[in-house]
Structure 1
Amino acid sequence: MIEKDTYKTIANAAAAILFKEKNSKFFGFAFPVTTEEEIKINLEILRKQHHGAVHFCYAFQLGTEKVTFRANDDGEPSNTAGMPIYGQIQSFGLTNILVVIVRYFGGVKLGVGGLIVAYKTAAQMTLEHAEIIEKTINIQFQINFEYKNMNKVMRVIKEKNLDIISQNLTENCQIRIATRKKNAENIFNIFSTLFEIEIKKL
């Protein structure tokens, strides 16, 4: 089995969409996120922008190998908002994403079934309008070596087209590199066999 080393997410924050149901307005937003801190910030911004709204229901998924997710009904009946939103994140096969549906109550209760459909539809429309992209799962390594071995290291980095994340090139050099997950073992082995060069996975 070939191990998957790509994942799908969204390129940037999606423009708001609007779905109306029995006078209630559901505004849908999607954000690319990689940390729970970013999620908190995006929610706070939306709450400031939409202070007349009653519910800020959302779901997110983070990570590629170890996945964390959460669904929040924000005061709607249990499982009528967060899970339908999360279901759409799953059906689009996305991660590192936050989807928020902001509801302005229109005076007519929708009932449990109506709410589930409304939140699911708003989330689906939001993701259909977002730009979905595929990214590679990258593994980072740190390479430690003396300055005299610089050429050896740089030759491999160039040949294998590795991304340099950061470098500290003093007498004892350190370079952080990133490579696609499927190439990681090969890259590790190449550097491991080089004389006087140490590599470790980050």
Structure 2
Amino acid sequence: MNEPFLTIAKDTAFELVIKKSRFICSLKRVNSETAAQEFIKEIQAQNKKANHNCFAYMIGDNDQVQRESDNGEPSGTAGVPILESLQLAKLHNVVAVVTRYFGGIKLGAGGLIRAYSNVTTKAIHQAGLVQRIQQATLNITVSYRQHDPLLYYLKEKQLEIANEQYGANVITSVFVDTDQVKTTIQDLTNRFNDQLEISEGEKRFNELPFESQK
């Protein structure tokens, strides 16, 4: 079974103060490396007086593009912990920039790793997660006599109606998860004694709130 395609539900920012240092994690959904780089530059421009603007991003259906930067922090203490937080949450198409305003107290390598990891994880929790699901449109042509039973079936199966067109018959279009298309067509055919005309239409991506399994 394939892993669900997860991303953040909304762009967000979360701040932690650790030993007088301010760590601010800014999260954004992006669809390309160019968009990720633009967001990094935007955060850097907004925080010119910050000591560091460290970042990491994961882009692509299979996370083909993964980058991280310590931006002047000791090697491996910032970019990698940020990236690992994104990986642990199994996110796609997300960039995280952690801005640090130094408070005068050194944290040490371990302290920095924990700080960058924690602020990123807390930002992810604040943003929330959604699962992206590919769906197909099924166009179902039904007689007026069978229309109400069809609507009852769709409600029973919790299938979302996309559109309805009324003519000699009714064409009811519904969204079905792509991995359920064949099963749904077979079920409809059996339920309505092969009296429906069913064709597959355009595909779309739907996003549903995702709760991680503890």
Q: TM-score, normalised by structure 2?
A: 0.62
Q: How do 1:118-133 residues align onto structure 2 when only pairs under 5 Å count?
A: 118-133=115-130
Q: Deviations over 1:3-30 (max 9, x none)?
A: 45x400012211x211111111000111
Give aligned pairs, total.
153
Q: Does 1:106 align with 2:87?
A: no
Contact (CA 8 Å) 1:72, 1:82: kept in 2 or not? yes
Partner of 1:49: 46
- 2:63, 2:138 → 1: CA distance? 28
Q: Residues 7 and 108 from structure 1, CA distance in 2 versus in 1: closer, same or farther, beyond 3 angstroms?
A: same
- 1:22 maps to amino acid: K
- 1:12 maps to amino acid: K
CA root-mean-square deviation: 2.9
Secondary structure of 1:115 counterpart: helix
- 1:44, 1:183 → 2: CA distance? 42
- 1:38, 1:184 → 2: CA distance? 34
- 2:7 maps to amino acid: T
Contact (CA 8 Å) 1:136, 1:180: kept in 2 or not? yes
Structure 1 residue 58: Cα displacement: 0.9
Secondary structure of 1:78 counterpart: coil
Q: TM-score, normalised by structure 1?
A: 0.66
Which range is displaced more, 63-72 or 47-56? Answer: 63-72
- 2:10 maps to amino acid: N
Secondary structure of 1:158 counterpart: strand
Q: Deviations over 1:60-79 (max 9, x none)?
A: 11111352211111111111
Q: How do 1:2-17 residues align onto structure 2 when only pairs under 5 Å count?
A: 2-4=1-3, 6-14=4-12, 16-17=13-14
Structure 1 residue 158: Cα displacement: 3.0
Contact (CA 8 Å) 1:64, 1:137: kept in 2 or not? no
Structure 1 residue 35: Cα displacement: 0.3
Secondary structure of 2:139 counterpart: helix
Q: Does 1:23 align with 2:17?
A: no
Partner of 1:174: none
- 2:58, 2:69 → 1: CA distance? 12
Secondary structure of 2:106 counterpart: coil
Structure 1 residue 184: Cα displacement: 9.9
State percent identity of aligned pairs: 30
- 2:139 maps to amino acid: K
Contact (CA 8 Å) 2:61, 2:92: kept in 1 or not? yes
Q: Residues 66 and 106 from structure 1, CA distance in 2 versus in 1: closer, same or farther, beyond 3 angstroms?
A: closer
Runs of at least 4 residues off by over 6 Å: none
Contact (CA 8 Å) 1:80, 1:116: kept in 2 or not? yes
Structure 1 residue 157: Cα displacement: 6.5
Partner of 2:82: 85
Contact (CA 8 Å) 2:33, 2:65: kept in 1 or not? no
Kindly name which structure, 1 or 2, has the bigger radius of gyration based on alpha carbons.
2
* Structure 1, unpaired ranges of 5+: 140-155, 164-178, 186-202
Q: Deviations over 1:91-114 (max 9, x none)?
A: 111111111110001112211111
Structure 1 residue 180: Cα displacement: 6.5
Q: How do 1:155-194 residues align onto structure 2 when only pairs under 5 Å count?
A: 158-159=139-140, 182=179
Q: Residues 138 and 94 from structure 1, CA distance in 2 versus in 1: closer, same or farther, beyond 3 angstroms?
A: farther
Q: Residues 96 and 184 from structure 1, CA distance in 2 versus in 1: closer, same or farther, beyond 3 angstroms?
A: farther
